[in-house]
Amino acid sequence: MGRFEILFADEMGYCFGVRRAIEIIEEAAETGRRVASLGDIIHNPQAVERLESRGVRVLTELDDAVGRKRRGGLDVLAITAHGAAPQVAGGAREAGLEVVDTTCPLVTIVHERAAHLRDAGYYIIVYGDRNHPEVRGIMGHAGRNAIAVKAFEELPWQAPRDDFSAPRTAKPPKKVAILSQTTMDIRAFTAFVNRVNEIALPIGGEVFVHNTICKPTSDRQLAVRDLARRADLIVVVGGKKSANTRHLAEISGELGVRNYHIQRPEDLDPAWFTAEVKTVGVTAGASTPDDVIASVTARLREISEAPVVEPATV
Ligand code: SF4
């Protein structure tokens, strides 16, 4: 046996939404048409590199895609698994592009819910990172009477009554609905909802909460909590831009377990695995390919079985 045992989270790696998105875009690329995705199809560098090697370009702006279409350099625009605002697909189709929609069905549910709440007159709070493509897409369906925040302090009406610099909207609207980015931490979401309730309910407000954190995300978070009880150190594998992967590292840290978020096996530093580390936990985000997890595991085995080099004595 090596220096440490390797333990795996019960739930980790690709979720069905990511697998589905990759299959759809690969099928489109196989037809020989020129395909581009608007943003990374998923937030994992290896998966994006693989798709690029099959001819799928990554574009950041719709205008860029439209310009390429006009110049005859693009046929198909893929909406990523994160989804997009309705205007994106509309604008692409208007320019004559074929749109391949790989939006995860669980994100589509959030879009439908946001549109329904918008039409019902709710002020919609989207709990999430406003710069994340998924949140931008949800906001596109939520309409103008909506805000995206990832902390209670970012809400415009939370300022104390004696804060005269507080905005005029210091009182919450009467009808508030809260949705979440699908990959947020369920405990942090619950705490956020509680704080909104504390401020809205005493003034007779109505707060409608829809927990839109997806089950694959919740399952991976529960599994890393369990892993943290068993492991001395946790290695979290996945893209640095992947929100759900980052949350796995954050949860490990909150539970007091030393952890490292890495993208590839070369990122592992043998110096992390000190003598007191007897068990190393491995988990991976919902956008981490199976072969990346396998190569990280293989490198961990090498490190565990390598002879221990004692520090030189003077
Ligand atoms: S993390 Fe959840 S919402 Fe995102 S693609 Fe996977 S299943 Fe869908």
Identify the residue whose C-alpha is closest to ligand 1 atom 7: 17
Q: Dihedral through CA 273, CA 276, CA 279, CA 283, nearest 10?
A: -50
Active-site position among 30, 49, 98, 134: 134
C-alpha 165 to ligand 1 mean position (Å): 40
Please answer whether residues 279 and 5 qualify as being in contact, where contact means their C-beta atoms are separated by less than 8 angstroms.
Answer: yes
Closest ligand 1 atom, residue 107 Cα: 3
Rounded CA separation 189/185 (Å): 6
- Pocket probe for ligand 1: among 25, 80, 134, 183, the residue whose CB has the most ligand atoms within 8 Å is 183
| pLDDT tens, N- to C-terminus, the chain (314 residues) | 578 999 999 999 999 999 999 999 999 999 999 999 999 888 888 888 999 999 999 999 999 999 999 999 999 999 999 999 999 999 999 999 999 999 999 999 999 999 999 999 999 999 999 999 999 999 999 999 999 999 999 998 765 555 555 454 567 889 999 999 999 999 999 999 999 998 888 888 899 999 999 999 999 999 999 999 999 999 999 999 998 999 999 999 999 999 999 999 999 999 999 999 999 999 999 999 999 999 999 999 999 998 766 555 54
> Which residues are paired to 5 by β-bridges?
279
Q: Let me know if 31 is exposed, middle or buried by CB neighbors in 10 A (0-12, 13-18, 19+).
A: exposed
> Which residues are paired to 36 by β-bridges?
57, 77
Count other C-beta atoms under 10 Å from residue 78's C-beta.
29
Structure confidence at residue 170 (pLDDT) = 61
Structure confidence at residue 312 (pLDDT) = 56
C-alpha 221 to ligand 1 mean position (Å): 13
254 half-sphere exposure, CB direction, 13 A CA radius? 12
C-alpha 265 to ligand 1 mean position (Å): 24
Rounded CA separation 208/197 (Å): 10
Structure confidence at residue 203 (pLDDT) = 86
Question: Catalytic site residue 30?
Answer: no
Rounded CA separation 62/92 (Å): 7
Rounded CA separation 80/101 (Å): 7
C-alpha 18 to ligand 1 mean position (Å): 7
Structure confidence at residue 309 (pLDDT) = 60
Pocket residues: Cβ below 6 A from ligand 1? 15-18, 81, 104, 106-107, 182-183, 214, 216-217, 244, 286
Q: Which domains does the chain have, with CATH numbers?
A: 5-13+215-305 (3.40.1010.20), 17-103 (3.40.50.11270), 106-209 (3.40.1010.20)
Identify the residue whose C-alpha is closest to ligand 1 atom 8: 17
Rounded CA separation 49/56 (Å): 9
The length of the chain in residues reads: 314
Rounded CA separation 298/3 (Å): 14
C-alpha 104 to ligand 1 mean position (Å): 6
Closest ligand 1 atom, residue 183 Cα: 1
Rounded CA separation 57/46 (Å): 14
Closest ligand 1 atom, residue 18 Cα: 5
